[in-house]
Amino acid sequence: MSSSTVITNIATLVTNSPSLGDGSPLGLIQDAAVVIEGDRVAWTGESSKAPATDNRVDAGGRTVLPGFVDSHSHLVFAGDRTQEFNARMSGRSYTAGGIRTTVAATRAATDEELEANLTRYLAEALRQGTTTFETKSGYGLTVADEARALRIAAAHTDEVTYLGAHIVPPDFADDPAAYVSLVTGEMLDACAPHARWIDVFCEKGAFDGDQARAILTAGKARGLHPRIHANQLSYGPGVQLAVELDAASADHCTHLTDADVDALANGDTVATLLPGAEFSTRAEWPDARRLLDAGVTVALSTDCNPGSSFTSSVPFCIALAVRDMGMTPDEAVWSATAGGAAALRRTDIGRLTPGAYADLIALDAPSHVHLAYRPGVPLVTDVWRRGVRQG
Ligand code: NIG
Ligand code: FE
């Protein structure tokens, strides 16, 4: 039998199980303990009732919560876009066109360079409490470069997304239909074995609703499940298409009509909000309050990429969501943990309940509220992933 460890002296424990805790969505337990057996959570409850275990760790009055589930990132890339960021901060607006700069740098990079970059950003995210991440291709846009990106990503996570439909690359500028045929044909054949998900950037300057439907439907027929970049820069068909195709998540959701919100509220598609993108593009914030009040499940993620959101920090996104998107601290913490798990259709992460993976983090703070209350402060002191203490 694998050895068991109890973490005791936890001031506030976030379980994300209402029934295990105080009945709230976060399922809070004060003066709590968690027992880990192997890579799983075996028990959570009040410290005084903790069962005997082989090992004991004193949390020193910290807060413990599930590790963050970052369900949207673009981490296989080379180069950076400092100049574009500088131009934006001098008044230029963000467009999909900047993606081409990263496509050129990524195509020119070696496998080793891409791998080193990915490893570096993953380590950065892990230090800040991310224990599960999804990541995408989308900066290769040739059969070989997309398949290579997915292969590199798949060595680090199960949550790999084929985003051959990020933009129409310059080499196909005169014939976008031929690019859609490639994405749904030869490129899909090469990429499907390495991915769980298929994604499309459905936006003016990228792919329209009909193209997005064709691409996601082709992916579904190959066993990939859809997710979509939708309604980021303008109103459009992406969100309703996501619900129609039972996409796990519609991501960005910045420009929504009432019909879009109704569709999300009546479907099983999670709305993933990515405040790092609005921060870094000086764009209007998505209205999380409107979505939550309508009963939509909301996830919060980083969108970490060199163009629109170059942050790997979920705590930063929580602080933005609370300050500028109408979320309470409790809602934002739920969305960055259980919400991210829902956006990946996972029930074995994002919660600290018996049987879930022992992915948990400790904060040097008396409660989870400090993640928003103390913005920019590195509160994450300890990370366990699959039951193993990191660092
Ligand atoms: O999610 N919107 C599309 N894709 C990314 C940005 C990619 C880039 O600018 O390099 C996003 O924001
Ligand atoms: Fe994105």
From 325, 343, 361, the end of a domain falls on 343
Quick one: 54 and 137 in the same domain?
Answer: no
Q: Where are the beta strands (DSSP E) in the chain?
A: 4-14, 28-37, 40-46, 55-66, 68-70, 130-133, 135-136, 160-165, 197-202, 225-226, 228-230, 249-252, 270-273, 298-300, 360-363, 380-385, 388-389
**Which ligand gives the minimal distance to the CA of 277?**
1
- pLDDT of res. 388: 97
Ligand 1, pocket-test mutation among 77, 121, 139, 166, most atoms within 8 A of CB: 166
Residue type for position 360: L
Quick one: 97 and 43 in the same domain?
Answer: no
Q: What integer is the mean pLDDT of 140-149?
A: 98
Name the residue range of residue 318's domain. Answer: 69-343
Strands 360-363 and 380-385: antiparallel
How far, in Å, is the centroid of ligand 2 from the Cα of 303? 5
Residue 29 DSSP class:
E
Quick one: 126 and 241 in the same domain?
Answer: yes
Quick one: 209 and 285 in the same domain?
Answer: yes
Question: What is the number of structural domains in the chain?
Answer: 2
Quick one: 145 and 127 in the same domain?
Answer: yes
Residue 303 Cβ inside 6 Å of ligand 1? The answer reads yes
**Which ligand gives the minimal distance to the CA of 206?**
1
Residue 167, both tokens: 């933009």
- Condensed to tens digits (0 to 9), the pLDDT of residues 14-39 reads 999 999 999 999 999 999 999 999 99
Residue 301 Cβ inside 6 Å of ligand 1? The answer reads no
Q: Which atom of ligand 1 is nearest to the CA of 139?
A: 10
For residue 58, how many other CB atoms are within 10 A of its CB? 11
- Condensed to tens digits (0 to 9), the pLDDT of residues 203-214 reads 999 999 999 999
Residue 347 DSSP class:
S
Quick one: 85 and 195 in the same domain?
Answer: yes
Q: Which atom of ligand 1 is nearest to the CA of 233?
A: 2
Distance CA 175, CA 186 (A): 16
Distance CA 106, CA 77 (A): 5
Residue 334 Cβ inside 6 Å of ligand 1? The answer reads no
H helix count then E strand count, the chain: 15, 17
Q: Is the pLDDT of residue 1 over 80?
A: no
Residue 237, both tokens: 């068909």
Rg (C-alpha) for the chain, rounded Å, is 21
Residue type for position 90: S
Q: What integer is the mean pLDDT of 273-277?
A: 98
Nearest protein Cα to ligand 1, atom 1: 303
Q: What integer is the mean pLDDT of 264-283?
A: 98
Q: Is 73 helix (H, G, I), strand (E, B) or coil?
A: strand
- pLDDT of res. 211: 98
**Which ligand gives the minimal distance to the CA of 138?**
1
ipTM above 0.95, yes or no: yes
Q: What integer is the mean pLDDT of 272-282?
A: 98
Q: What integer is the mean pLDDT of 52-72?
A: 97
Q: How far is CA 50 from CA 7, 162, 358, 382, 383, in A?
A: 9, 44, 16, 21, 21
Residue 201 Cβ inside 6 Å of ligand 1? The answer reads yes
- Condensed to tens digits (0 to 9), the pLDDT of residues 83-127 reads 999 999 999 999 888 999 999 999 999 999 999 999 999 999 999
Nearest protein Cα to ligand 1, atom 5: 308
C-alpha dihedral (216, 99, 315, 66), degrees to nearest 10: 30
Residue type for position 154: A
C-alpha dihedral (273, 363, 347, 294), degrees to nearest 10: -40
Q: Is the pLDDT of residue 359 over 80?
A: yes
Quick one: 11 and 30 in the same domain?
Answer: yes
For residue 53, how many other CB atoms are within 10 A of its CB? 19
How far, in Å, is the centroid of ligand 1 from the Cα of 210? 20
Polymer length in residues for the chain: 391
What DSSP string runs through 223-263? Answer: TPEE-EEESSSS--SHHHHHHHTT-SEEEE--S--HHHHHH
How far, in Å, is the centroid of ligand 1 from the Cα of 362? 31
Quick one: 141 and 46 in the same domain?
Answer: no
Distance CA 125, CA 119 (A): 10
Distance CA 311, CA 304 (A): 5
Ligand 1, pocket-test mutation among 234, 305, 317, most atoms within 8 A of CB: 305
Q: pTM surpassing 0.90? A: yes
Arithmetic mean of pLDDT over the chain:
97
- Condensed to tens digits (0 to 9), the pLDDT of residues 165-195 reads 999 999 999 999 999 999 999 999 999 999 9
Q: Which atom of ligand 1 is nearest to the CA of 72?
A: 1
Q: Which atom of ligand 1 is nearest to the CA of 94?
A: 9
Quick one: 124 and 142 in the same domain?
Answer: yes
Q: What is the CATH number of the domain that holds 377?
A: 2.30.40.10
Nearest protein Cα to ligand 1, atom 8: 307
Quick one: 139 and 256 in the same domain?
Answer: yes
- pLDDT of res. 2: 78
How far, in Å, is the centroid of ligand 1 from the Cα of 288? 20
- pLDDT of res. 360: 98
Quick one: 103 and 58 in the same domain?
Answer: no
Q: What is the CATH number of the domain that holds 123?
A: 3.20.20.140
Quick one: 63 and 183 in the same domain?
Answer: no
